Amino acid sequence: MNNTLEKFLSPAKLNGVTLQNRLIKAATFESMLDDNFNITQKCIDFHESFAKGGVGMTTLAYCAPEPDGRMQGHYMYIREEVIPQLRKLSNTVHRYGTKLSGQIAHCGGFSRNTNLQRKRPVAPSKSLNMMGIPFGLFFTEEMDENLMQEVINGFVRTAGIMKISGFDAVEIHFGHGYLLSQFISPLTNKRKDEYGGSIENRMRFPLRVLDAVRKEVGNDFPILGKITMYDDMKGGISLEDGIATAQILDKAGIDGIILSAGTSSQNPMLLFHGQSLVKGLLKFETNFIMRLGMKLKGPSMFKTYPYKELYLLEAAKKIRDAVKCNLIYVGGATEVESFEKVMALGFDFVQSGRPIMRDPAIINHLKEYGKNYVNGCDHCNTCATLMGDKEGIRCILAEWIPELNK
């Protein structure tokens, strides 16, 4: 085993917390909830499988900070009522030495939630809600100071609940077209006040969220941020914006930045690379208008990005050169050589979604097989289309077997 693979498998600090290795299970929407929008035992078992497999930290995905933060009305939002299950989750993964993070994400104007408490989905600017039109949610509501403070309070409350529930870190979602990313993107932020225009102004509200969460959890508690480095959309988030976003978050004291790309609502394939999601998503879409729209707009919305290893590396390297905080690489790290390369280039951690669902014991198997390890993920992206399946997200391939490595 060489030095770079040893580094990947060695303990590393993230602010006041030490992870047993440098692999973090990425937030992959579980869709394992009961009728009261709370995580089920199946969700706890799902994360336990990664903890048993030796992962450094696992991430509970899409924890909305308020009811209107849910993209759909049956998603989870964090409130005191869910604390017992959250504690059970943290206690479970801690038995294996694994840490637990919670991803706090607010959909903002990207909403099809017909159970809104407000009249409209909130957003940086008033605009058509293309995602919500088939559900009667035609427009977004531009956020004033009162709405901004309400949303900030939700992020703060959620982070506090996670901390008292035994979570070891929080991940704030600044990317993928969700609310904070809507402020960052020129396509969705058309404001003329101090929250619009320059990247510094567009980052003003996201920074207020980060600052408020920091005050709630304390200086030693790790706060990660997932950003969109670029979205490959005309007039959208450029790589220059992505670099500036990382620099601004670094200066503001964030503990680690997850370097992703694309938007869930407009260019999702940039996140994944590989086979298109359209066919699988259509299987679970029940709204006729949405199905028709996906069939008509599928080729333009779901662009073709053939899979290749480390497909976001070149952009990530530019950010590595620009900031000092921990950087977490995500995007096409499946092979041993990819983990080694990422470590050799000075990245601090790797987040993994598809490969770790393919082989939840990836860390244990890397220790056993070293450079001979073969993961076997074929990047079919079926797992990503199962978010709407009642059985929850999962790998559809046959169970990982040692014979792959012979």
Biggest distance spanned by C-alpha atoms of the chain: 61
Angle, alpha carbons 83-355-222 (nearest 5°): 40
Instruction: Report how far residue 260's alpha carbon sits from residue 126's, in angstroms, rounded to the nearest whole number.
Output: 26
- Catalytic position from the list 62, 75, 178, 373: 178
The first and second tokens of residue 135, run together, are 């559900």
Helical segments of 131-178, H only? 145-164
Helical segments of 21-106, H only? 41-52, 83-94
**Pairing of β 17-19 and β 12-14:** antiparallel
Neighbours of 323 (CB within 10 A): 17
What element of type H or E holds 294?
A: helix 288-301
Contact status, residue 336 vs residue 367, Cβ threshold 8 Å: no
Contact status, residue 127 vs residue 138, Cβ threshold 8 Å: no
Q: Which residue has the tokens 């980060």?
A: 210
What element of type H or E holds 344?
A: helix 336-344
Instruction: Report how far residue 334's alpha carbon sits from residue 331's, in angstroms, rounded to the nearest whole number.
Output: 9
Contact status, residue 246 vs residue 239, Cβ threshold 8 Å: no
Residues 6+ apart with CB under 8 A from 366: 5, 8, 9, 336, 339, 373
Torsions phi, psi for 24 (to 5 deg)? -115, 125
> What's the number of CA atoms in the CB half-sphere (13 Å) around residue 203?
22
For the question of residue 305 being annotated catalytic, the response is: no
**Closest residue by Cα to residue 160 from 217, 198, 110:** 217
75-87: buried (b, 16+ CB within 10 Å) or exposed (e) per residue? bbbbbeebbebbe
Active site residues: 178
